[in-house]
Structure 1
Amino acid sequence: MAQSPQPTPQPRSNVAQIPTYVPGKPPTPRAGLTTYKLSSNENPYPPLPGVVEAATRAAEAMNRYPDMGNTALYDALSANLGVPVEDLAAATGSVALIYQLFNAFCDPGDEVVYAWRSFEAYPIAATAAAATSVQVPVLEDGRHDLDSMAAAVTDRTKVVIVCTPNNPTGPAVTQAELDAFLAKVPPHVLVVVDEAYLEFVRMDDPIDGLATYRAHSNVVLTRTFSKAYGLAGFRVGYAVGPTPLAGALRAVSLPFGVSSVAQAAAIASLASTDALFERVDALVAERSRVMDAVRDAGWELPDAQGNFVWFPLGERTMEFAAAADELGIVVRPFAGVGARVSIGEPEGNDRLITLAQTFPR
């Protein structure tokens, strides 16, 4: 007589619903051709002055646990930003802070409102926390539809995310738009302003995130050292928020999450502000050059305020990605929607311009 199968441990039902994060893939090797990865919004520059030396010194003590309190990093951020240490929370990139925010503030079934398409980790983090995603379509030009997002807030809403500049479409929210939006959101709803790309913003009336957090008891900023600072491989980001909110983030953080090497590299990066903004200005200039050339080729692209540009290609997205790969560049396609292309080395950017000029529209 056949025995019944033994029961096995089962994860929570929401785990099976978690979408898979799709990272930017590396380029296909091409004989005799230098290839460029333009799929992950990475900074093409090497580490800032002093960073490698600081990281190397920290690595020499890798047999010791990192400072769980991120003490020196918090002190450096506090001095750099002019905020109290108590209003800071560090984690392994700003994406980890998004996970922690949902875990700290959402009960199962609570709603999280965000624009879509936006950062693809949002639905993953929300589902992992057993929260319900409420996705509000971006406008035709890739901007947040803040009026519709405010209207989507219900008595079940715990968190609203404003991604500015929006990844992957590119436009940023103005201060006036954010102020008007915050005036419509109930004060018990947490508003997360995701500023992963803030250093690249060049527009009229840009958001002053620090002034906004100081003026609102329900606003948290999330930022990262991965993009402008070029520390993507070390995974360190931070949040700025009122003391009770930052404290909740620290309470649910992974013990010893930010490595000693990452902390040292971030502190050294903060000390190289002049070099940082020289590089950011160069990337912004490249972004302008690429945008001008692509638009001259007849494309209509949304405003680009991050270190990437967005091609709204619809059903031709994967064809565009394949054509890019043939030229030795790899882009980040979102099937059926569009392709995000990072601003990288000038030669890689030149090939993107060539693709824009030759790809049938």
Structure 2
Amino acid sequence: MSAPENQADVAAEEVTRIHPRSVLGRLPRYAAGKPPVVVEGLESYKLSSNENPLPPLPAVLEAISGQTQVNRYPDPMTTTLRTELGGFLGVPPEDIVTGAGSLGALNQILAAFAGQNDYDAPDEVIYPWRSFEAYPICVGLAGAMSVRVPLLPDSSHDLDAMAAAITDRTRVILLCTPNNPTGPALTEQEVRSFLERVPSNVVVVLDEAYVEFVRKAGAVDGIQLYRDYPNVIVLRTFSKAHGLAGLRVGYSISQPELTEHLRVSATPFAVSQIAEHAAVTSLRHIDEVRERVQALVDERTRVTSRLKELGWHIPEAEGNFLWLALGEQTPEFAALAEQHALSVRAFGTEGIRVSIGEPEANSRFLELCAGYPSGPRVLTVHK
């Protein structure tokens, strides 16, 4: 076959192929935490996904074991859950929109307020970086443009730089508190000061997926802010503190002028009957949930205190995880953890996020760190 004929065939084949949207080629791939490898003689532990190491409460497991009507669609308004949440949080149930985890609720927010509009330039979404790795994916798929603002040297949000990044194309700003994967939480005072610099037509999302683990004095509480600022949306989830990650129950809270649009963009039937029933039951046993959360916070304190004794420098840890700014040594440490039957979450050559897991897993992690010669001694920030 001659070269021209071959080129023509290739061109024809290219025309007939199905191509995805061009944005997919520019987006990172979400990398979920890997399960631990099997090492002979050692129990394996997964510390890579910020999961609650404990199963749901016994009352929750009992409540959902009898749920059999999965042949029927769930209540699209998740009325029972929103009513229960409204009473628990002290907010009108009408201000709550549920979603498939806080990530599902975030996608609903972006679908409603940021994307490609009836003009050439896409909307902009500002968020800190490094932060939750799904942010650039969600923003890109919504058709909007990511504006990443590097973290401060202490791994916290640079709110001054984020305010300076606002343009007339900015539609949404994401604040992750505590910041995943680095750990620091924002204070109410600094967020209120930031909000005063944000135009009232820009939506500010407070992603509080780990709010139950925060013990920092003066830490921001999104529920208080949403009452005072009509452009604030709060994101929360049952995945972490309640141990319901596999059932995908999250929600957003905002004032009616925003929720009316979120109900249009919400995925129908995103929360199953089983998930709703589990979440409601867990809320009704909140004291037991809080006991479990405090046990994890106590473990977090034990781990971070020991690391400091070893001379390791770690950022403020306010979630159920901690951050090791290992830089170029990140792959080496992750491989070493794997050899000890521990899976951790490595981020390129930036650092490693380690979830707080079972006490035995945390102790083995500390033994690994005690024998590792080059832990993070100085704060670094990677742009």
What is the TM-score with the length of structure 2 in the denominator? 0.92
Question: In structure 2, what is the equivalent of residue 33 of structure 1?
Answer: 42
CA contact (8 A) 1:90 1:239 kept: yes
Question: In structure 2, what is the equivalent of residue 105 of structure 1?
Answer: 113
Question: In structure 1, what is the equivalent of residue 22 of structure 2?
Answer: 13
CA contact (8 A) 1:86 1:247 kept: no
Q: State the Cα distance separating 1:209 from its structure 2 match.
A: 1.3
Among 66, 77, 85, the residue aligned to 1:77: 85
- Structure 2 counterpart of 1:41, one-letter code: N
Q: Deviations over 1:191-211 (max 9, x none)?
A: 000000000000110112111
Q: Deviations over 1:117-146 (max 9, x none)?
A: 000010000010111100001111111011
Question: In structure 2, what is the equivalent of residue 240 of structure 1?
Answer: 253
Inter-partner Cα distance in structure 1 for 2:58 and 2:89? 20
- Structure 2 counterpart of 1:15, one-letter code: L
Question: In structure 2, what is the equivalent of residue 219 of structure 1?
Answer: 232
Question: Quick check: 1:61 aligned with 2:74?
Answer: no
SS at match of 2:349: coil
Q: State the Cα distance separating 1:9 from its structure 2 match.
A: 3.6
Question: Quick check: 1:188 aligned with 2:204?
Answer: no
CA contact (8 A) 1:106 1:158 kept: yes
Inter-partner Cα distance in structure 1 for 2:290 and 2:126? 33
> Equivalences for 1:174-185 in 2 at 5 Å?
174-185=187-198
- Structure 1 counterpart of 2:34, one-letter code: K
- Structure 2 counterpart of 1:50, one-letter code: A
What is the TM-score with the length of structure 1 in the denominator? 0.97
Q: Deviations over 1:273-300 (max 9, x none)?
A: 1101101111000000000001111101
Inter-partner Cα distance in structure 1 for 2:60 and 2:301? 28
SS at match of 2:304: helix
Structure showing greater radius of gyration is: 2
Gapped regions of structure 2 (runs ≥ 5): 117-121, 375-383
Q: State the Cα distance separating 1:68 from its structure 2 match.
A: 1.1
CA contact (8 A) 2:176 2:207 kept: yes
Question: Quick check: 1:122 aligned with 2:135?
Answer: yes
Inter-partner Cα distance in structure 2 for 1:248 and 1:322? 46
- Structure 1 counterpart of 2:318, one-letter code: Q
SS at match of 1:50: helix
The number of residues matched between the two structures is 360
Q: State the Cα distance separating 1:334 from its structure 2 match.
A: 0.2
Inter-partner Cα distance in structure 2 for 1:154 and 1:119? 23
Among 265, 271, 294, the residue aligned to 1:252: 265
CA contact (8 A) 1:49 1:275 kept: no
CA contact (8 A) 2:108 2:267 kept: no
CA contact (8 A) 1:97 1:239 kept: yes
Inter-partner Cα distance in structure 1 for 2:19 and 2:92? 43
Q: State the Cα distance separating 1:15 from its structure 2 match.
A: 2.5
> Equivalences for 1:314-325 in 2 at 5 Å?
314-325=327-338
Among 44, 52, 71, the residue aligned to 2:61: 52
Identity of aligned residues (%): 51
Among 239, 243, 246, the residue aligned to 1:230: 243
Question: In structure 1, what is the equivalent of residue 381 of structure 2?
Answer: none
SS at match of 2:98: strand
Inter-partner Cα distance in structure 1 for 2:327 and 2:159? 23
- Structure 2 counterpart of 1:243, one-letter code: P
SS at match of 1:319: helix
Question: In structure 2, what is the equivalent of residue 358 of structure 1?
Answer: 371
Inter-partner Cα distance in structure 1 for 2:95 and 2:303? 38
Q: Deviations over 1:166-219 (max 9, x none)?
A: 000000000111011101111100000000000000011011211100000100
Inter-partner Cα distance in structure 2 for 1:72 and 1:49? 21
> Equivalences for 1:131-210 in 2 at 5 Å?
131-210=144-223
Among 269, 276, 293, the residue aligned to 2:306: 293
CA contact (8 A) 2:39 2:340 kept: no
- Structure 2 counterpart of 1:55, one-letter code: I
Q: State the Cα distance separating 1:243 from its structure 2 match.
A: 1.2
CA contact (8 A) 1:24 1:332 kept: yes
Question: Quick check: 1:326 aligned with 2:334?
Answer: no
RMSD after superposition: 1.2
SS at match of 1:356: helix
- Structure 2 counterpart of 1:305, one-letter code: E
SS at match of 2:323: strand
Q: State the Cα distance separating 1:352 from its structure 2 match.
A: 1.1
Q: Deviations over 1:319-345 (max 9, x none)?
A: 010111111111000011000000000
Question: In structure 1, what is the equivalent of residue 281 of structure 2?
Answer: 268
CA contact (8 A) 2:43 2:341 kept: yes
- Structure 2 counterpart of 1:112, one-letter code: V
